């Protein structure tokens, strides 16, 4: 009996000594230095219309595979990577998965033994939750080049919920659950950066810059490393995890899903606008087709269309672009200005009617 209690005490002593507690005010210099070695700065397309030409990525293999966000900077034949030690390399996109909004990039030329994140291992950990303390790492604002380290920020996971974001008029490609952060982490160039726990263990990937569809404010979020997405390949639909995308991508076996139809044919609304004479002709209604969704909704000639589903439309061109994203049976809310008053109308779009003689 004595011996067993003794053994239990020793075991408890071991548990008590286990370093789970991190003092609240400990600096994160060592953690930051360790994480930084597994991250890269990406330089590619952009530099116009407020789109940055730089981004962030993480090494996911010792031989130079880099995981990053599938955004515009990859649309170039001159993609460049800066490693933590200042080395510079060209790189090529290996495979993308739009549904996860991620891409796998490979450094060209011989590299080996690079420090990297083990995505499989990270994704086998339980999800973090609201209230958890995180560190965010990225090359926001292109502050760093060459061997200069990533920016590190601290924050708290404010919520874990479905991503309802958009950039301009396009919705976010990924719409699973994400970590929302209280830190302003999703600045220009931060996409492809990461959040970690206090020990520097990978929790999620910072997403592209997005506005919240409800509040119209820029949001700070990360896609959990355990993320999954449903993808369509021909007739079959499949669920892929972020980790399997990385694993199969490195093995050269990953098949991209089909592109989600972001652009529909455009449903029929029955609105005829005034002639589009200048580059920003305001979308005034010229005529409403009889029995059309617009007629049913009560639209009238001379109405000025101001908002479509909360999106400001300033020109005929913008209106037409926007309407391409809807299809038959979609419900669309429009705010129109009629003799100095705003009026809200709801249209239910239909198939384009066949021409009759």
Partner 1 sequence: MATRRGFVLALIIGMVFLAGWRSLAQDADVLRDEAARVAVVDKVRPAVVAVFARGGQGGGSGVLISDDGYALTNFHVVQAPGPVMQCGLADGVLYDAVLVGLDKVGDVALIKLLPKKAGEKFPFAVMGDSDKVREGDWSLAMGNPFLLATDFTPTVTFGLVSGVHRYQYPAGTLLEYTDCIQIDTSINPGNSGGPLFDMKGELIGINGRGSFDKRGRINSGVGYAISINQIKNFMGHMRAGLDSDHASLGALITTQTEKSGLGRMMVTSILEESDVYRRGLDIDDELLSFAGRTISSVNQFKNVMGLYPRGWRMPLEYRREQTRKEILVRLMGVQARIFDVGDKQPQPPQQPPKGIKLPKGPPSPAAKFYQAKQGFANYYFNKLEQDRLLAGFRKLGDFSGLAGMWTMDGTVRLLKLKSESKFRIDITEDKAKDAKVFRPLVKMTVGEFPYQVLPLEAQDPTLLRVPESSGGLLTAMYVYHQLLNQGAKPFSEFAHGGHEPLYPPSSDGKTSKLADLRVDTEVLNTRLGPFLVKWFFALSDQKLLGYEVRLNENEDPCEGYLSDYRAVDGRQLPHRLQVVYGNTSYGTFTFNRFQLGTAK
Q: Hey, is 223 helix, strand or coil?
A: strand
**With respect to partner 1, which residue has the nearer C-beta, 69 or 305?**
69
Please say whether the beta carbons of 255 and 244 come within 8 A: no
The 10 Å Cβ neighbour count of residue 18 is: 8
CA distances from 242 to 4, 106, 176, 245, 289 (A): 46, 17, 12, 5, 48
CB of 157 to partner 1, least distance (A): 16
Please say whether the beta carbons of 59 and 68 come within 8 A: no
Please say whether the beta carbons of 186 and 219 come within 8 A: yes
Q: Which helix (H) or strand (E) holds 317?
A: helix 316-323
CB of 24 to partner 1, least distance (A): 4
CB of 206 to partner 1, least distance (A): 12
CB of 299 to partner 1, least distance (A): 34
**With respect to partner 1, which residue has the nearer C-beta, 9 or 130?**
9
β-strand partners of 20:
none
How is residue 245 annotated by DSSP?
H
CB of 147 to partner 1, least distance (A): 6
CA 227 – CA 100 distance, rounded (Å): 8
**With respect to partner 1, which residue has the nearer C-beta, 185 or 194?**
185
Structure-block tokens of residue 144 = 């760093």
**With respect to partner 1, which residue has the nearer C-beta, 13 or 353?**
13
**With respect to partner 1, which residue has the nearer C-beta, 183 or 306?**
183
Positions touching partner 1 (CB under 8 A) are: 1, 3-5, 7-9, 11-12, 15-16, 21, 23-25, 27-33, 50, 85-90, 108-109, 135, 140-141, 143-154, 183-185, 187-188, 218
CB of 52 to partner 1, least distance (A): 9
**With respect to partner 1, which residue has the nearer C-beta, 6 or 275?**
6
């Amino acid at each position: 009996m004595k011996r067993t209690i003794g053994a239990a005490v020793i075991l408890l002593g071991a548990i008590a000594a286990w370093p789970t507690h991190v003092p609240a005010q400990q600096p994160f210099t060592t953690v930051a230095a360790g994480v930084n070695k597994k991250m890269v700065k990406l330089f590619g397309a952009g530099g116009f219309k407020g789109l940055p030409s730089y981004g962030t990525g993480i090494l996911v293999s010792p031989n130079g595979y880099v995981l990053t966000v599938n955004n515009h900077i990859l649309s170039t034949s001159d993609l460049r990577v800066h490693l933590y030690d200042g080395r510079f390399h060209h790189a090529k996109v290996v495979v993308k998965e739009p549904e996860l909004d991620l891409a796998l990039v490979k450094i060209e030329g011989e590299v080996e033994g690079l420090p990297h994140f083990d995505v499989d291992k990270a994704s086998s950990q339980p999800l973090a939750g609201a209230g958890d303390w995180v560190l965010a790492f990225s090359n926001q604002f292109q502050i760093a080049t060459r061997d200069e380290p990533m920016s590190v920020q601290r924050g708290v996971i404010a919520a874990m919920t479905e991503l309802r974001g958009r950039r301009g008029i396009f919705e976010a490609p990924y719409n699973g659950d994400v970590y929302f952060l209280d830190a302003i982490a999703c600045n220009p160039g931060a996409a492809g950066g990461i959040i970690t726990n206090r020990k520097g263990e990978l929790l999620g990937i910072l997403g592209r810059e997005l506005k919240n569809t409800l509040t119209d404010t820029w949001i700070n979020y990360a896609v959990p490393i355990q993320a999954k997405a449903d993808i369509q390949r021909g007739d079959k639909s499949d669920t892929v995890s972020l980790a399997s995308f990385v694993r199969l991508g490195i093995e050269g076996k990953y098949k991209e899903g089909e592109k989600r139809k972001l652009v529909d044919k455009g449903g029929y609304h029955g609105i005829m606008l005034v002639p589009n004479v200048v580059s920003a002709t305001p979308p005034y209604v010229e005529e409403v087709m009889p029995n059309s969704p617009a007629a049913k909704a009560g639209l009238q000639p001379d109405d000025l269309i101001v908002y479509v589903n909360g999106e400001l439309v300033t020109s005929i061109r913008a209106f037409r672009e926007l309407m391409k994203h809807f299809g038959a049976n979609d419900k669309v809310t429009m705010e129109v200005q009629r003799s100095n008053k705003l009026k809200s109308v709801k249209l239910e779009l239909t198939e384009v009617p066949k021409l009759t003689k």
